[in-house]
Structure 1
Amino acid sequence: MKNFDIVTLTVNPSLDKSTSFRGLVPEQKIQCKNPRFDAGGGGINVSKAIARLGGESLCVFTSGGDTGKQLEALVQKEGIETHAIAVKNATRENLIALDLNTNSQYRFGFSGETLSEPEQQQILEAVSGLKTKYLVASGSLTQGMPPEFYQRIAAIAKASGIKFIADTSGEALQKTLETGVYLLKPNVGELAKLVGVEKIHADEADDAARTLIDKGQAEIVVVSLGPQGAVLVTKDITEFVPAPNVPKKSTVGAGDSMVGGMVWALSEGKPLQEVIRWGVACGSAATMNEGTQLFKADDARRLFEWLGRK
């Protein structure tokens, strides 16, 4: 197998089913449009984003049962190189439903079946054999997995000289930062928890991010500010990019699209000022499409150019 500059890891992927309906009424059958199926899960979405920008990545994920086979086919249909790790339990499904009467989106997510110790070891072995520049571990862990799992991945990456990007939350993220990452993308709420305060205002995000950098927990912190945009922080620079005002149809995959845009830009050797612009452009473009479709490349490029003129 050829070497890739970017590898993404998804330990808890999903087969995402999206639909729409008119009016949510309890105790009644809700007539829904025929569903659209997409391959989901953090790392898979990051690989999809990279592919839409013309980049390449190796997409590593677990796969089980009939839903897993369908997931594999969907990823391969995107033209992405895959390494599926076979597991006993079926890959989970998620449901995203849009009420056309109110434009309210309902997202039903499931935790994913437990991975056995041997299955977890297969993932670690797959990562241990990688020769890459960037490793992106994105998404949740399955129920029953130890919160230290991503920390083990971080340690493997560190020992191999791989730049590790972690995009998860809660205790799993806190444990991972004990070993340290190259790039971290929290929102302001997650950042507040990481620095041990109740709340952080947008204008305080850069200082809070720098405390993580000063502790050696991350080299680059990109704080998502929601509709306000995002700020990239290193020990030397702070770069804020406002979010463009676009018609929003779905926020599913916007964060993963942002990560994908940034990692692609990093792999292309682009300056950090452009890295954060690509991230905001891809994340914003993803919200312009319904369901779980992520972004269209033309939308992302147009927004990137527009942000450069601001």
Structure 2
Amino acid sequence: MTLNPTIDITMTTPRLISEGKNRARRPIVHGGGGGINVARGIRRLGGSALALHTRGREPGRYLDRLLDEEDLPHRGVDIDGDTRTAFIVAEEWTGHSYHVVPPGPELGEADQQRFLEAVAATAPDFAYLVLTGSATPRLREDFCADIVRAVADTGTEVILDITAPQLRKVLMNEVFLIRLDRDTAGSLIGRPIESFDDARATNDYLLDAGATAHAITTVGALGAVYSTPEAHYELSAPVLASGPHSDACAGDSLIATVVHRLTRGDTCVRACAYGVAAAAATVALPGAEMFARDDVETLHAAVGVSRTARRG
């Protein structure tokens, strides 16, 4: 599910300067946003997925065309505002990428209801529903909670990767798995997420609240901590030979790989270890590029897994 998709325009320039013009190579344009990226990652791994997204006027129709040309299964739900456009600038001199993302359209009550009904009608056909990506401006804070409640009796497992305002309302409903980035995790426990200990504390917060039985909090280049009611698992990220280049799509790569591995019958801890490898493979690439399947397999062998009992 992508409530706030983007048209991502990626440009590469030798070196950014503050005066004159920054000449760039021919831009790469593709559809983006959390759920679209997750669906793309699942397909890249050999799985099947449907990207359900909002579609706003002419930019939304352009998004449709981009996804059709990519042959990515998707379904658009019309809204009154324009689908947003985001820009990624990759600088060759430093190897860094800069992601500039506007807030997106504001959804009226009719837009929200239309999308909620589309998700509720579609989700029962699938094993997993992934709610991920940015919320739209001034979206009612219980919108994602309404979606979770709407699919509660369908047998579809819900995976969340959403920001704090929406997440706090969802915590009153149990879902299959919750993934948090450092910003969202920090807002929940009231301190920066800088270590595995911080990630464990965040997962404890989610598990103690009864919001999920599977929690994973990422800690940047360190990796992630995956937790169950019984144990914590430190997942140490592999060292990248060429260093990091861009964290765009890293979280989406992790979730895509976790979902795909679960559908293949892996345990959740093994799926999360593969997810850390996929995130690392994506971080090694410039702009909004996502991992290559072979790189995930290679890097998975270098992911360290350490288990500790959650309760003494």
After TM superposition, the score normalised by the length of structure 2 is: 0.90
- 2:85 aligned with 1:93, yes or no? yes
Q: Would the aligned equivalents of 2:216 and 2:226 in 1 still touch at CA under 8 Å?
A: yes
Post-superposition Cα deviations, 1:248-281, rounded to whole Å, max 9, x if no partner, equal 2221101100011001111222112311111111
How far does residue 189 in structure 1 lie from its aligned partner after superposition?
4.0
Task: Give the Cα separation in 1 of the matches to 2:251 and 2:305.
Answer: 23
1:198 paired residue among 170, 187, 191:
191
Q: Residue 185 of structure 1 aligns to a residue in which SS?
A: strand
Query: Hey, which bits of structure 1, 4+ residues long, moved more than 6 A?
Result: none
Task: Give the Cα separation in 2 of the matches to 1:101 and 1:142.
Answer: 34
Q: Would the aligned equivalents of 1:64 and 1:88 in 2 still touch at CA under 8 Å?
A: yes
Number of residue pairs matched?
Answer: 301
**1:125 aligned residue:** 117
Task: Give the Cα separation in 2 of the matches to 1:29 and 1:245.
Answer: 36
Task: Give the Cα separation in 1 of the matches to 2:264 and 2:286.
Answer: 29
**2:233 aligned residue:** 239
Once the two structures are overlaid, the 10-residue window that deviates more, 69-78 or 11-20, is 69-78
**2:94 aligned residue:** 102
- TM-aligned CA distance change 1:249 to 1:207, over 3 Å: closer
- 2:46 aligned with 1:54, yes or no? yes
CA RMSD of aligned residues (A): 2.0
Unaligned residue ranges in structure 2 (runs of 5+): 307-312
The residue correspondences of 1:168-247 to structure 2 (distance < 5 A) are 168-195=162-189, 197-200=190-193, 201-246=195-240, 247=242
How far does residue 294 in structure 1 lie from its aligned partner after superposition?
1.0
2:18 paired residue among 15, 26, 51:
26
How far does residue 91 in structure 1 lie from its aligned partner after superposition?
1.2
Q: Would the aligned equivalents of 2:51 and 2:74 in 1 still touch at CA under 8 Å?
A: yes
**1:41 aligned residue:** 33
Q: Would the aligned equivalents of 1:38 and 1:292 in 2 still touch at CA under 8 Å?
A: no
Task: Give the Cα separation in 1 of the matches to 2:256 and 2:99.
Answer: 22
Q: Percent identity?
A: 30
Post-superposition Cα deviations, 1:38-80, rounded to whole Å, max 9, x if no partner, equal 2110000000010011000111001123332232233234433
How far does residue 27 in structure 1 lie from its aligned partner after superposition?
4.4
- TM-aligned CA distance change 1:108 to 1:199, over 3 Å: closer
Task: Give the Cα separation in 2 of the matches to 1:300 and 1:112.
Answer: 32
Post-superposition Cα deviations, 1:167-188, rounded to whole Å, max 9, x if no partner, equal 1112112222222322111134
Unaligned residue ranges in structure 1 (runs of 5+): 1-8
Task: Give the Cα separation in 1 of the matches to 2:284 and 2:62.
Answer: 26
Q: Would the aligned equivalents of 1:48 and 1:78 in 2 still touch at CA under 8 Å?
A: no
- TM-aligned CA distance change 1:207 to 1:144, over 3 Å: closer
**2:137 aligned residue:** 143
Q: Residue 176 of structure 2 aligns to a residue in which SS?
A: strand
